[in-house]
Amino acid sequence: MAAVAACFVAQVGVSIPATTQGYVNQDLHVTSTTLTWVSDAFMVPVTLLELSFGVVGDLFGRKRLLAAGAALMALGGVLSFLTPEGHGAFLLLTGQAVAGIGAAAIFPTSIAMIAHGTHTVHERARALSLWAAALTTGGFVSPLMGGVLARVHHAGGEFASWRWAFLAMAVLALVSLVVTLALARTSSSPEGRSLDWPGQVLIAVALFTLIYAVVQGAEDGWADPLIIGSFVASVVFLALFVIVERRVEKPLIQLELFNNRMFTVSAVVTVLGMFAYLGTAYGTSIRLSAIQNYTPLKTSVGFVLLNIMGLVLFPVSTRMLQRFNPGWVLAAGMALIGIGDVALAAIPATHPGLTAIAVPLLVVGAGFKTAVTAITVVAVNSVPTAKAGMASGATSMLRDFGLTLGPAIVAAIALTNASNAIAAKVSATPSLKQALAGFNSSTKVPEGLKEAVGSGPLGANAIPDPPNPLKDVAFQALSHGYGIAYLVCGIAALLAALIAAALLGGRQHSHAFVEAAPETGDAGARGGRR
């Protein structure tokens, strides 16, 4: 019960930003890039820390770590709720990072508690099903909860109501903390476990510098020395990670797994597919909330469409893996994501309402549920049984890395294209250039509005015309830019489908769904995430 409640709260935290991006943009007057960090500030700690937290739970006690994770999520939610109006997003980003650290502790610990708290295959399968159902429900409930709560205006601020969603997460986390302290059993497995601190630090720096460069490059410019330096640092630290991991006795990730061709192929498919899915979810969030300026409640309907197929397909997902080759199931899921993305790319933001994008969102959601259920099974089936736990854990990290890349790359593609389109339009239209100069020099226009318009395409789209001469130009540029981003996501998913069909479809060791518990600390069974 405690593990299920905790993972539900963690999944709520993952999905909260989806419906609030537009109000955050208008309330805090942040740059387009900062909106990307609102999502990635949570996901980056999850990606970087979850494997090490699995070991921490083994060494120092899983109940203690699960409680600490819930407490951190509560603290992060409160910090985000206290973000001051119109003063930037530092406190919001800090709160998201703190909550992300808490979620990184919860995900692997909850799985380990289930593994060590069940004693038969039937008990374990039932517990894992409840755990996955909690994740699916959390991903479904969170956007809807955020949309409903955002209707409540706080402190007289028109857009300030987005904060209530983060406060609700904090309350849920506190409830989870109480449940953990009251019901969870103390367990640990310190024998033979140790933290790989050098490996953890090196991979954290390598992945963070890569994500930083991708996110900030769209705003600072790809030729900026810091961006170039971040890309170089990522390569250097990744190389050092490989060197260190080959020498330590108990590495964070057993790199020998990648000597297995089938596992390497499944890893590539995982990263491509998860990038495509969360890139789609992030692009849809920006399209509905920040471009089309829908209310959080209306935006939440879009995410209900994206997530509802997870609930519909949940009862049959295991049976699909028992009946069909997991490689083909994975390929089919990726293909559905790709088809939905290509359809979304063909529908510009000028199409009002949700009807136009409803079917593509349902298709993407069905594809994600189908694919994510198969990912761990495909990876585990590609290696000897003795390495199944490590393969599952490595796949979990790769999956989260792909999910973290989604918002970063989609924002980089869309915002770079939109910025270039706006600049080209202003340069080619003397009347627009003159109107923009008059807007910037006018003493009647508040400085805050000038800063918002100058902050990037999303800021320019958020300020109405009049007085903003770039409103229509920014809207069209963003519609086109995010259309390109959808297309890139679709190509990535279709490529993943082709790779899976060609290289994984006929080579699985077993078609059976793996019901055995993962190794302690493994987050690999998180099939319901997102």
Q: Among residues of the chain, what percentage have pLDDT more than 90?
A: 44
Same-domain status, 163 and 206: no
Specify if 395 maps to a domain. Answer: no
208 lies in the same domain as 180: no
| Shared domain check, 207 and 151 | no
Considering its fold, how many domains does the chain have in total? 3
Asked if 323 contacts 375 with a C-beta cutoff of 8 angstroms, the reply is: no
pLDDT of res. 249: 84
Q: In this structure, are 165 and 220 located in the same domain?
A: no
In a domain, 469, yes or no: yes
Lowest-confidence pick of 31-40, 53-62, 479-488, 516-525: 516-525
- Which residue has better confidence, 59 or 246? 246
Domain at 112, CATH number: 1.20.1250.20
DSSP characters over 107-163: HHHHHHHHHHH--SHHHHHHHHHHHHHHHHHHHHHHHHHHHHHTTS-BTTBSSGGGH
- Rounded CA Rg of the chain: 23
* pLDDT of 333 higher than 90: yes
On whether both 23 and 86 belong to a single domain, the answer is yes
The pLDDT score that the predictor gives to residue 154 is: 44
Weakest-pLDDT range from 53-62, 89-98, 151-160, 363-372:
151-160
CA 443 and chain centroid, separation: 42
Same-domain status, 46 and 79: yes
- Range ranked top by mean pLDDT from 55-64, 417-426, 510-519: 417-426
Model confidence at 325, pLDDT cuts 50, 70, 90, reads confident
Whole-number mean pLDDT of the chain?
85
Residue 192 banded pLDDT, cuts 50, 70, 90: low
Give tens-digit pLDDT for 65-87: 999 999 999 999 999 999 987 66
Residue 372 domain-assigned (yes or no): no
**Does residue 51 sit in the same domain as residue 13?**
yes
Whether residues 234 and 202 share a domain: the answer is yes
- Dihedral of the CA atoms 34, 35, 36, 42 (nearest 10)? 90
- pLDDT above 70: percentage of residues in the chain: 90
pLDDT at position 522 is: 38
Last residue of a domain, one of 185, 216, 238: 185
The whole-angstrom separation of Cα 325 and Cα 320 is 8
Last residue of a domain, one of 152, 185, 218: 185
365 within domain boundaries: no
Pick 518 or 207 by higher pLDDT: 207
357 occurs within a structural domain: no
Q: Which domain holds residue 427?
A: 420-477
235 has a pLDDT exceeding 90: yes
Residue 494: partners with Cβ closer than 8 Å, 6 or more residues away? 334, 335, 338, 339, 342
Secondary structure (3-state) at 293: coil
Least confident stretch, 142-151, 218-227, 247-256, 420-429: 142-151
pLDDT grade for 322, boundaries at 50, 70 and 90: confident
Higher pLDDT, 227 or 310: 227
Same domain, 129 and 243: no
Domain membership of residue 165 (yes or no) is yes
Most confident of 136-145, 395-404, 405-414, 443-452: 405-414
Q: Tell me the range of 31-35, 65-69, 187-191, 461-465 where mean pLDDT is highest.
A: 65-69
Does residue 294 lie within any of the structural domains?
A: no
Give domain status of residue 351, yes or no.
no
Position 152 scores a pLDDT of 63
148 lies in the same domain as 232? no
241-293, pLDDT tens digit by residue? 999 999 988 888 888 888 888 889 989 999 999 999 999 999 999 999 889 98
Q: What is the pLDDT of residue 68?
A: 96
- pTM for this structure? 0.84
Residues 218, 134 share a domain: no
- The pLDDT score that the predictor gives to residue 463 is 87
Residues 220, 150 share a domain: no
Q: Would you state the pLDDT for residue 506?
A: 66
State the first-to-last Cα distance of the chain, in angstroms, to the nearest integer. Answer: 20
Q: Average pLDDT, stretch 156-179?
A: 84
